[in-house]
Amino acid sequence: MRIEGETGFVLHARPWRETSLLVEVLSAGHGRLGLVARGVQSPRRQPLRAALQPLQHIRFDAVLVGELAQLRAAESLDAAPRLAGEAHLAGFYLNELVMRLAPRQDPLPELAAAYARTRERLRACQPLAWTLRRFERDLLDALGVGFELHCDGDGAAIDPAARYRLDPEHGPRRLHSDRGQAERSAAATGSALLALAADTRPDGADLASLRLPLRAVLAHHLGPRGLKSWELAAALGRLQAQP
C-alpha cells in the first residue's frame, strides 16, 4: 500500500545496518508506523536525516509492506521544540508512552491531536506536571481505556474533599477514612479529578496527587516492564536530593 503526503510526528529513530534508520512515527491516518529509511546516514542525505529526529513534525511518502513501511521521502513541516533538562525528559517520556501503548497501523486521530497539543505546550514551556497529566488522560481516552472523572466506579459523584485511587478497569474508587497515610498519600484528591475532567489546572498539592494514581493505571497497561523515562526521572531525583 502506498502512503503519500501523510503527516506525522517522529517518536524514535535508531541506526539500522550501516547507512539506514528504523524510525517510529505517529500519524493521524495510519497510527503508529515503523519506517525503514534506507541510506540516510550518508552525507548527501543529511537533510532527510535531520527531518527524522524525535519530536519532528514531518510530511512523508512510504510503501507499506507487512509490519514495516519503506520510506520514500520526508520533509520537516516546522522546527522541532528545543527542549533541555526536565522538559527534554518529558519529551522522551511522551514518545516512550506512545511507542509502548499505541498499536501499530491503528488510526488514532485523537491521539495524534493530543500529541500535537502537548508538543506545543512543551515548546511554550508550560508547566510540565500539568502538561503531562493532561496528555496521560488524553492518551488513555484515545486508546479506549480512559474512564469518567466526574463520578466513581459505582456512579456516585466525585466528592472534592475525598481521596480516590484509580482502578484501571473500574475508574475512581473512594478511599475510606480508616485507610493508612501511605495509601491516602498515593491517592488523588477528588478536587484534582474534577479539575482534570474540566481541563482546569488544579493547585499545588491537588495537581501533585494525580501523578501516582495515573502512573498506576499506565503501569497496568504497560505490563511488567516499566518505562526507561521513569527510571531516568527517579535517578535524577536521587541526584538532586544529594547534598
Rounded to an integer, what distance in angstroms lies between the CA atom of residue 33 and that of residue 173?
36
> Taking residues 192-204, what's their average pLDDT?
96
The confidence score (pLDDT) of residue 192 equals 97
For the chain, the average pLDDT equals 91
Residue with the bigger pLDDT between 26 and 154: it is 26
The domains found in the chain, sorted by start residue, are 2-76 (2.40.50.140), 85-241 (1.20.1440.120)
Phi, psi of 211 (to 5 degrees): -65, -55
pLDDT band at residue 97 under the 50/70/90 scheme: very high
What per-residue confidence (pLDDT) applies to 178?
Answer: 64
pLDDT exceeds 60 at position 241: no
* Res. 215: pLDDT tops 70: yes
Say if residue 180's pLDDT is above 70. no
- Lowest average pLDDT, out of 1-5, 44-48, 115-119, goes to 44-48
Give the single-character DSSP code of 110: H
* pTM of the full structure: 0.92
pLDDT of res. 238:
59
Q: Which residues pair with 68 in a beta bridge?
A: 34, 65
Residue 136 φ/ψ region, left for φ over 0, alpha for ψ in the -120 to 50 degree band, beta for the rest: alpha
